[in-house]
Amino acid sequence: MYKFLSTAFVFCTLVFYSPALFAQLTGTFTDSRDDKTYKTVKIGSQVWMAENLAYNSDVGCRAYNEDPANIEKYGYLYNFSGASKACPNGWHLPSRGEYNLLLFNLGQYGTAGRSMKSSTGWTSGNGTNSSGFCALPGGYYWNVKFGYRYIGKDAYFWSSTEVGKDELVWFLHLSCRDNQPGWLDFGNYCYLSVRCIKDR
C-alpha cells in the first residue's frame, strides 16, 4: 500500500509540473490600435501574448539595427517608459511576481527556460517551446557606446517592477548559453522586448 501511495505521489508530482499541461489553451488577440493580430497562450491561470509586442508607440521604441525587417519576427525594443505604456487596453506589462508565477508553473528555474524558448531562432537551438510562450532572442539596445547586441542569442523582457534604487527596473533574461532564466536590472536608457499579460 505504501509503495502504491508513493508511486501515485511521484506520478501526480510529475504530472503537476509537466509543462505540457500549461500550453493547451491557445488563441489570438487583435490590437485595435494597428490591427495586428498576436498569438496568445494560457499557462496556468495567466494569459500571455505568445509573440513580442510590435506596436509602434512613436516614443520609446525602436527596431533592432533600425531595420524594419526585424520587427516582424522580434517586435520592437522599448525603453522602460515606452514599455510601461505600450501594451493594449486589457493587457499590461507583467510584474516580476507575474513572471515568477509563470516560471513556477513551468517547473521553476531549472527547466522553465527551455520550455519558454521558441524551437527556432536561437543560435544554440536548445528551445522546445513546450510551454507555448515562444520566447525569441530579440537582443537589446544600450546607448551609443554599446549599441545593438545579442539578437539571435539572448531575450530580455521588461517587467513593471522597479528595483527601488537608481531608477533601475527588473527584467527577465533568457540566454542561448543555458536554460536557466535570470533576473537582472537596467535603467530607462536600455531598450528591451515586451511581452504583455492579460488583465484579470
| Choice between 136 and 166, residue whose per-residue pLDDT is larger | 136
Q: Which three cell numbers stand for residue 84?
A: 510601461
The H or E element containing residue 83 is helix 80-86
Query: Mean per-residue pLDDT for 52-78?
Result: 96
Q: Residue 109 has what pLDDT?
A: 62
Q: For CA atoms 156, 58, 86, 76, give the dihedral sign.
A: negative
Q: What does the pLDDT look like over 4-41, one tens digit per residue?
A: 333 333 333 333 444 444 546 999 999 999 999 999 99
Q: Which three cell numbers stand for residue 53?
A: 509586442
Q: Residue 163 has what pLDDT?
A: 94
Q: Residue 108 has what pLDDT?
A: 66
DSSP 65: G
Q: Residue 19 has what pLDDT?
A: 46
Q: Which three cell numbers stand for residue 149?
A: 547586441
Contacts of 1 (CB under 8 A, 6+ apart): none
Q: What does the pLDDT look like over 71-123, one tens digit per residue?
A: 999 999 999 999 999 999 999 999 999 999 999 999 866 678 889 999 888 98
Q: Which three cell numbers stand for residue 199?
A: 488583465
Query: Mean per-residue pLDDT for 156-181?
Result: 90
Q: What is the pTM of this model?
A: 0.86
Q: Which three cell numbers stand for residue 120?
A: 527556432
